[in-house]
Amino acid sequence: MVAVIDYNPMELMICLAARYLEDGSSVVVGTGAPCAAAMLSQKTHAPNLVIMFEAGGIGPLLPTMPISVGDSRTFHKGIMASSMLEIMDACQRGMVDYCFLGGAQIDKYGNINSTLIGDFHKPKVRFPGSGGANDLASLCWRTLVITPHDPRRFVEKVDFITSPGYLWGKGAREAVGLAPGTGPYKIITNLCVMGFDEETKRLRVETIHPGVSKEQIVAATGFELLWAPDLTVSEAPTELELEILRKEVDPHKYIIGRQAS
């Protein structure tokens, strides 16, 4: 009899995200779930993952979860204590493989809005804005997103493009001067993992989480999704991943205790 491993949606999202970070690669993260994913990756299959923080920490061995990108723990046993200037310079020079972003709205081309909802001059809601998000989405090779899945977030057209995805489709990033080969890579939600169709650059469902139906994903998305021809079920977290996540990465459940929907 196979033992059933118990986990929640947030733990699944973090474990799935962590697996995309290869050993020896580099990633710019903020706090929260992206930081947890990077820590988990570093403590499992990618000990040589170079974690970078916008405030300047490069290559730390994070002892516990930092509460901000300027937390002293983001420099702990790091290879360099730099500044935002060096981090953005590394991105501009094409030296950063991954970044994690989030936002209030995401459209079918992976464009992200973290600026406002409604009319630009008279918005219904105003958010903090870009910070370094536009720079990271424009300059890093691959953008990863961890986000809840609901129709208010996944919209046909974002109200404002804070961070560029594939803009209006294939070739659009290159047309506006962004480097070929850069752009959004995977969007990991509490329902599925989505990538991007190579021909259209539209969001495409690649794996569906255990116990989730296609109908649930469709109902939670404000536009027509594409579906991978080899659609599979997302691989559940392993006992080892959950043990490290719960005991070493986030023992106080600051992140994994949150609702993912």
Known catalytic residues are 54
Asked if residue 257 belongs to a domain, the reply is no
Predicted pLDDT of residue 2 = 47
- Cα–Cα–Cα angle for 179, 116, 136, nearest 5°? 25
Residues 186-221 as b or e (16 or more Cβ within 10 Å = b): bbbbbbbbbbbbeeebbbbbbbbbeebeeeebeebb
pLDDT at 159 over 90: yes
- The whole-angstrom separation of Cα 129 and Cα 162 is 7
Asked if residue 253 belongs to a domain, the reply is no
What is the domain extent for residue 60?
9-248
Handedness of CA 181, 111, 153, 202 (dihedral sign): negative
Predicted pLDDT of residue 24 = 97
pLDDT tens readout for residues 109-153? 999 999 999 999 999 999 999 999 999 999 999 999 999 999 999
Q: For position 89, which CATH number holds? A: 3.40.1080.10
Q: Provide the pLDDT confidence category of residue 260 given band limits of 50, 70 and 90.
A: low
Predicted pLDDT of residue 236 = 97
- Cα–Cα–Cα angle for 42, 43, 47, nearest 5°? 50
Asked if residue 163 belongs to a domain, the reply is yes
pLDDT tens readout for residues 171-190? 999 999 999 999 999 999 99
Q: Provide the pLDDT confidence category of residue 3 given band limits of 50, 70 and 90.
A: low
Asked if residue 104 belongs to a domain, the reply is yes
Asked if residue 56 belongs to a domain, the reply is yes
- The whole-angstrom separation of Cα 239 and Cα 161 is 39
Q: Kindly state the percentage of the chain with pLDDT values over 90.
A: 94
Q: Any bridge partners for residue 118, and if so which?
A: 123
Mean pLDDT of 195-224: 98
Asked if residue 187 belongs to a domain, the reply is yes
Asked if residue 38 belongs to a domain, the reply is yes
- The answer to whether the beta carbons of residues 108 and 202 sit under 8 Å apart is yes
Threshold 0.85, pTM exceeds: yes
pLDDT tens readout for residues 38-83? 999 999 999 999 999 999 999 999 988 999 998 999 999 999 999 9
Nearest CA among 61, 59, 149 for reference residue 105 = 149
Count the domains in the chain.
1
Asked if residue 2 belongs to a domain, the reply is no
- The whole-angstrom separation of Cα 187 and Cα 121 is 30
